[in-house]
Amino acid sequence: MEKRRKAVETMRQHVVDRSGNPTPTPSATAYESRSVAVPFGNCTEPSNVKAGGSRCPIRFQFSGCAFYRPDPSFLPAVEDHIRALKADREMALALGTAQFVVRNLSDQIDSLHGVVTSLRQQIELMPDDDRRHLEDVSAVLRKVRAAAPTPVLPVSSIPARRSTDE
């Protein structure tokens, strides 16, 4: 708990918004009580925080959300998500999917790239000791989140098509 408290105290100062603008959380208490960890960052939308992260009002569209608050501890998850979005875009293009779907994927990729670039620049400018400390506390927070998994993205279950022979 002590390690976690110290990690939050450091990390709250490195939070950004969906555009990558520094948006430090005013206190460690606010980081813990007014936000909830969701797949690619923290969420500050009050009703979703109250629901423990399972009631996103806009279907987890983080990159366009005013309540999205990523920090360096989420970098690997955001980068993984960018890779997944790129794969989805390739598939959409290969399938001749409507342009608005492809555009939406591209816009999400560009927006999350902005978040990653901003976080990486922030880290590069830090003195070596501070950078190492930030990497350590990022690992602590990832471990804490792994022990209490974040909600999975909602995927509706679609009934399998029945064979015409049946």
Q: Kindly tell me which of 16 and 65 has the beta carbon lying closer to ligand SF4.
A: 65
Q: Kindly tell me which of 33 and 61 has the beta carbon lying closer to ligand SF4.
A: 61
Q: Tokens representing 159? A: 């009934």
Q: Shortest Cβ distance from residue 43 to ligand SF4 (Å)?
A: 3
Q: Tokens representing 110? A: 């560009």
Q: Kindly tell me which of 64 and 135 has the beta carbon lying closer to ligand SF4.
A: 64
The answer to whether 121 contacts ligand SF4 (rule: CB under 6 A) is: no
Q: Shortest Cβ distance from residue 131 to ligand SF4 (Å)?
A: 27
Q: Kindly tell me which of 38 and 92 has the beta carbon lying closer to ligand SF4.
A: 38
Q: Between residue 43 and residue 72, which ones bind ligand SF4 under the rule CB under 6 A?
A: 43, 45, 48, 56-58, 60-62, 65, 67-68
Q: Tokens representing 133? A: 């400390």
How would DSSP label each residue in the chain?
-HHHHHHHHHHGGG-B-TT--B---S-HHHHHHS-EEETTEEE--HHHHHTTT---TTTT-GGG-TTEE--GGGHHHHHHHHHHHHHHHHHHHHTT--HHHHHHHHHHHHHHHHHHHHHHHHHHTS-HHHHHHHHHHHHHHHHHHHHSPPPPPP----PPPPPTT-
CA distances from 120 to 1, 30, 55 (A): 27, 24, 30
User: What is the total count of residues that contact ligand SF4 (CB under 6 A)?
Assistant: 13
Q: Between residue 29 and residue 48, which ones bind ligand SF4 under the rule CB under 6 A?
A: 38, 43, 45, 48
Q: Tokens representing 88? A: 């989805």
Q: Shortest Cβ distance from residue 48 to ligand SF4 (Å)?
A: 5
Residues making contact with ligand SF4 (CB under 6 A):
38, 43, 45, 48, 56-58, 60-62, 65, 67-68
